[in-house]
């Protein structure tokens, strides 16, 4: 390290310094990457900017710069009423269009918040680069309330000699308010539950019974072959596509009597307890751990996990398999352990799988031809998990599932996020159109709309009910 002054460094900061050194970040000069472009069209930018504008009005006379960054650390916006600190920040390029990710600017508040997905405070000499010693940076990550994906961060920067006791709390509140505002303006879906780091045993009877399509079988065969050769496999794919199911099935094919555990990612603050809970299982005979969502792990937890996995004696097959939505987002220390990436195709690319999966999820319930056509026509952005939830919910309503028993989302083709009021209106229109003997005229009467209005609404929400034209 190039720091000349002694400074107490917490463990998270020490790990960040070590990463900064590995990345080759200059310790005496800030050299962030400049992109020159800022995405101002996202819901995250809209809501984050609104929250920061309100906060800026409160802190207008304070020497605090309020910033919004994307998930790569690029500064999207900056608000500050103090010209002195603004000029100073310009000199170190902490400005819109520049990236302050760890690998570009070394240890700093927003870079650490993004790397560890946890609120972070970095003050004075705790920064890796001496050019930042004059500042205190408090940042908190913003996660998508529906998917849990990392969207970016809220960052507050002030002089290092200023009071910083409340700075991190303000950053956390702003990040939470941004996510809440996104939820209010989004589709009205329930927020994704916070990660809890569950660890459970995967039983063979939980695997799908139906014979699935060639695309699924090809991915399964690729995973089986790689596991049998002792390769460390990453099973990738969109949320809900069946990554853990495929990994489990592949392990069972290679080692039928193997005990398979699944470790799901924890909240950042629970990472140490999560690792201590299940990593002792790695050394046990005939045991495999499927570690899910490694691309969502905080970098500090990924480094501890990589150390634990590297300490496991080599074996064929390897005693662990990984899953990730985006293999490119896996922290480097874990990515270096992986030998093979197997992608599970999204359900929309496997239309032949909809019917056998739906019949499996329905249990003793059956489908009318119209209901099955509706299921097969839908694009399933939530993949197999969404299909399972829709079918199981319908099966609680009827032994013979018709279109009126299916969730309204199945009859819409639009991908635009709906407000809560729009979602309620769409659902009511679908409910009326899927009743026995329904017509547009009857639906209009039930809803108190003119036929012309309901036709416009059907087109607006891209509603499609099998067996009924928009003019029927």
293 cis-preceded (ω within 30 degrees of 0) = no
Q: Are residues 269 and 374 in the same domain?
A: no
Whether 236 contacts 343, CB under 8 Å? yes
150-159 and 65-70 beta bridge pairing: antiparallel
Same domain, 33 and 174: yes
Of 168, 74, 55, residue with least CA distance to 114: 74
The upper half-sphere exposure of residue 126, i.e. CA atoms within 13 Å in the direction of its Cβ, equals: 23
Domain boundary among 185, 210, 234: 185
Other beta carbons within 10 angstroms of residue 272's beta carbon come to 13
Is residue 233 within a helix (H) or strand (E), and if so which, with residue range? strand 233-236
Q: Could you list the residue range(s) of the whole structural domain that residue 162 is in?
A: 11-185
Residues 324 and 355 in one domain: no
Q: Token pair of 91, please?
A: 């000199």
pLDDT at 283: 81
Query: Which 8-state DSSP code applies to residue 196?
Result: B
Residue 37 located in a structural domain: yes
Q: For the domain that residue 451 is a member of, what is the CATH number?
A: 1.10.8.60
**Residue 4 within any structural domain of the chain:** no
Residue 90 and residue 153 in one domain? yes
C-alpha dihedral (384, 390, 196, 166), degrees to nearest 10: 110
So what's the pLDDT on residue 471?
Answer: 47
Q: Residue 243 maps to which CATH number?
A: 3.40.50.300
Which of 151, 185, 219 represents a domain boundary (last residue)? 185
261 Cβ contact partners less than 8 Å away, ≥ 6 residues apart: 199, 200, 201, 202, 278, 281, 287, 288, 289, 290
> Residue 439 domain-assigned?
yes
340 located within any domain: yes
Name the domain boundary from 185, 218, 253. 185
Report the distance separating Cα 320 and Cα 232, nearest Å.
Answer: 7
Other CB atoms within 10 Å distance of the CB of residue 158: 22
pLDDT of residue 420: 66
Find the radius of gyration of the CA atoms of the chain: 26
Q: Return the residue matching tokens 């501890």.
A: 304
pLDDT of the residue at 205: 46
* Cα distance between residue 390 and residue 388, in whole Å: 6
Q: Please indicate, yes or no, whether residues 372 and 341 belong to a single structural domain of this protein.
A: no
Predicted pLDDT of residue 441: 83
Whether 53 and 180 map to the same domain: the answer is yes
Which pLDDT belongs to residue 2?
A: 45
Task: Tell me, yes or no, whether 396 and 258 share the same domain.
Answer: no
User: Does residue 471 lie in a domain region?
Assistant: no
Residues 321 and 362 in one domain: no
**CA 367/CA 236 separation, integer angstroms:** 32
Question: Looking at the structure, do residues 217 and 300 belong to the same domain, yes or no?
Answer: yes
Residue 81 maps to which CATH number?
Answer: 3.30.450.40
Q: Is residue 5 part of a domain?
A: no
Q: Indicate whether 112 belongs to any domain.
A: yes
The reply to whether 324 and 419 lie within a common domain is no
Between CA 380 and CA 293 the distance in angstroms is: 21
One domain, residues 340 and 428: no
In this structure, how many other beta carbons lie within 10 angstroms of the beta carbon of residue 472?
A: 11
pLDDT in tens, the chain (472 residues): 444 445 567 889 999 999 999 999 999 989 898 887 777 888 999 999 999 999 998 887 889 999 999 999 999 999 998 999 999 999 999 999 999 999 999 999 999 999 999 999 999 999 999 999 999 999 999 999 888 889 999 999 999 877 676 899 999 999 999 998 988 877 555 566 777 788 888 876 444 556 788 899 999 999 999 999 999 999 999 999 999 999 999 999 999 999 999 999 888 888 889 999 999 999 899 999 999 999 999 999 999 999 999 999 888 999 999 999 999 999 999 999 999 999 999 998 899 999 999 999 999 999 999 999 999 989 899 999 999 999 999 999 999 999 999 998 898 875 566 666 777 788 888 888 888 878 888 888 888 888 778 888 888 888 887 655 444 5
- Asked if 463 and 374 touch (Cβ cutoff 8 Å), the reply is no
Residues 105 and 21 in one domain: yes
Q: What is the DSSP letter of 211?
A: -
Q: Is residue 43 part of a domain?
A: yes
Asked if 144 contacts 47 with a C-beta cutoff of 8 angstroms, the reply is no
Q: How many domains does the chain have?
A: 3
């Amino acid at each position: 390290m190039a720091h000349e002054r002694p400074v107490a460094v917490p463990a998270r900061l020490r790990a960040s310094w070590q990463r900064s050194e590995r990345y080759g970040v200059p310790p005496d000069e800030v050299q962030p990457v400049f992109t020159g472009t800022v995405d101002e069209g996202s819901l995250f930018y809209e809501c984050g900017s609104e929250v920061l504008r309100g906060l800026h009005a409160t802190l207008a006379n304070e020497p605090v710069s309020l910033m919004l960054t994307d998930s790569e650390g690029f500064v999207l916006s900056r608000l500050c009423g103090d010209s002195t600190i603004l000029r100073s920040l310009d000199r170190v390029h902490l400005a819109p269009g520049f990236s302050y990710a760890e690998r570009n600017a070394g240890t700093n508040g927003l870079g650490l918040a993004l790397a560890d997905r946890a609120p972070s405070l970095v003050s004075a000499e705790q920064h890796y680069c001496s050019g930042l010693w004059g500042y205190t940076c408090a940042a908190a990550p913003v996660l998508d309330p529906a998917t849990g994906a990392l969207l970016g961060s809220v960052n507050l920067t002030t002089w290092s000699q200023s009071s910083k006791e409340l700075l991190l709390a303000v950053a956390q509140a702003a990040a939470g308010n941004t996510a809440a505002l996104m939820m209010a303006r989004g589709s009205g879906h329930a927020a994704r539950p916070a990660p809890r780091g569950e660890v459970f045993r995967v039983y063979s009877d939980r695997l799908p019974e139906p014979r699935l399509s060639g695309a699924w079988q090809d991915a399964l065969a690729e995973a089986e072959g790689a596991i049998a050769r002792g390769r460390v496999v990453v099973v990738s794919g969109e949320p809900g596509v069946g990554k853990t199911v495929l990994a489990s099935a592949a392990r069972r094919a290679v080692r039928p009597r193997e005990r398979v555990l699944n470790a799901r990612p924890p909240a950042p603050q629970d990472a140490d307890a999560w690792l201590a809970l299940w990593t002792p299982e790695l050394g046990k005979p005939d045991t495999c751990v499927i570690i899910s969502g490694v691309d969502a792990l905080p970098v500090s937890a990924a480094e501890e996990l990589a150390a634990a996995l590297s300490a496991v004696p080599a074996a064929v097959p390897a005693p662990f398999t990984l899953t990730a939505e985006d293999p490119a987002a896996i922290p480097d220390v874990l990515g270096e352990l992986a030998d093979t990436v197997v992608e599970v195709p999204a359900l929309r690319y496997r239309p032949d799988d909809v019917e056998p999966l739906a019949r499996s999820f329905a249990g003793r319930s059956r489908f009318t031809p119209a209901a099955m056509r509706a299921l097969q026509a839908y694009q399933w952005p939530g993949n197999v998990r969404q299909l399972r939830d829709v079918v199981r919910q319908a099966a609680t309503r009827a032994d013979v599932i018709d279109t009126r028993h299916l969730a309204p989302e199945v009859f819409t083709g639009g991908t635009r996020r709906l407000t809560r009021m729009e979602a309620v209106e769409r659902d009511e229109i679908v409910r009326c159109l899927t009743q026995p003997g329904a017509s547009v005229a009857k639906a209009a009467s039930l809803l108190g709309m003119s036929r012309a209005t309901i036709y416009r609404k059907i087109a607006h929400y891209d509603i499609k009910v099998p067996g009924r034209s928009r003019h029927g």
